Amino acid sequence: FPRAGVIGNPVSHSLSPKLHGHWLRRYGIDGSYDALPVTEDALERTLRSLPAQGYVGVNVTLPHKVAVLQIADQLTDRATLIGAANTLTFKEDGRIFADNTDGYGFIENLHQGAPSWDAKAGPAVVFGAGGAARAVIMSLIEAGAPEIILTNRTRPKAEALRADFGARIRIVDWVQAGSVLADAATLVNTTSLGMTGGQEFRVPLDALRAGTVVTDIVYTPLRTKFLDAAAEKGCVTVDGLGMLLHQGVPGFERWFGKRPEVDDDLRRAVL
């Protein structure tokens, strides 16, 4: 039977085994999905040895999402541009095909959580310029956002992102983050602010227009203060768990031959 899994270090916190395990049971598929702890030293050796053990592919989590690009034999344009991969598929001839489905998960989550959302409706404001922001920004550009207003505590990281993704990105200083919100059709927090146990999110959201679609990639807690503040302004809010669930869809379909559903049952199963 086909095997898949997730590689990371550590990997015990990953929700992917619950996610794919739920889908395997729900569709009655004879397959498995394991958490595979792999150190950086052992990364290439492990990846090359997995196909012989029946693996058809793996998800990749921290800290390996960038390093796997050097090992893979074939990359999608998305993975190349984002500079990271989260979904590997092993071809029958042993070649490793690397893709990044985070942007896909991000967009699908918005469509499902806010059915009237349209990237083309106006500028998207993005807080943060780390790894997650790269996938978010690329997918917003692909979806037709007319402008990306990007703000990050460390401005050179935002500038590096604009160098990669082009002129549709306008950079605003982090201290001014609150002042660009009136223009936003979409607002995304990609920073780690607001995560359980971490620092609080302090950017004032008073300028947000009612009807702006607001999403957070933080999903612990599921309802962040950022989302609560946006909801108070009359915004449509979408939590970040769905991005994680949707990013798993393309891999599951490639590995197990069934396009899985993301619904409330699944949300309950992974939490």
Q: Does 83 bind ligand ATR (CB under 6 A)?
A: no
Task: Using CB atoms within 10 Å of the CB of residue 234, give its burial: 0 to 12 exposed, 13 to 18 middle, 19+ buried.
Answer: exposed
Closest approach, Cβ 132 to ligand ATR, in A, equals 3
Closest approach, Cβ 157 to ligand ATR, in A, equals 5
User: Cβ closer to ligand ATR: 246 or 254?
Assistant: 246
Task: Return the range that interacts with ligand ATR (CB under 6 A); candidates 8-16, 186-194, 208-216, 249-257.
Answer: 186-194
User: Cβ closer to ligand ATR: 186 or 191?
Assistant: 191
Task: Using CB atoms within 10 Å of the CB of residue 191, give its burial: 0 to 12 exposed, 13 to 18 middle, 19+ buried.
Answer: buried
Closest approach, Cβ 218 to ligand ATR, in A, equals 9
DSSP annotation of 261: -
Q: From residue 192 to residue 231, what is the string marking binding to ligand ATR with x (rule CB under 6 A)?
A: xx-----x--------------------------------
Q: Does 122 bind ligand ATR (CB under 6 A)?
A: no
Among 3, 18, 26, 153, binds ligand ATR (CB under 6 A): 153
| Whether 7 contacts 40, CB under 8 Å | no
Six token digits for residue 29: 């598929």
User: Cβ closer to ligand ATR: 80 or 154?
Assistant: 154
Q: From residue 126 to residue 145, what is the string marking binding to ligand ATR with x (rule CB under 6 A)?
A: --xxxxxx------------
Gap between the Cα atoms of 204 and 152, Å rounded: 15
Gap between the Cα atoms of 199 and 209, Å rounded: 26
Concerning whether 258 is annotated as a catalytic residue, the answer is: no
Tokens 């500028």 sit on residue? 123
| Whether 150 contacts 169, CB under 8 Å | yes
Task: Return the range that interacts with ligand ATR (CB under 6 A); candidates 13-21, 45-53, 125-133, 249-257.
Answer: 125-133
Closest approach, Cβ 109 to ligand ATR, in A, equals 16
Catalytic residue among 18, 65, 120, 225: 65
Segment (H or E) for 88: strand 87-90
Task: Return the range that interacts with ligand ATR (CB under 6 A); candidates 74-82, 147-155, 162-170, 259-267.
Answer: 147-155
Segment (H or E) for 102: helix 102-113
111: Cα separation from own chain's centroid: 14
Segment (H or E) for 243: helix 241-247
| Whether 149 contacts 207, CB under 8 Å | no
Among 157, 170, 209, 258, binds ligand ATR (CB under 6 A): 157
What are the residue numbers of the active site? Answer: 65
Would you tell me which residues interact with ligand ATR (CB under 6 A)? 128-133, 152-154, 157, 190-193, 199
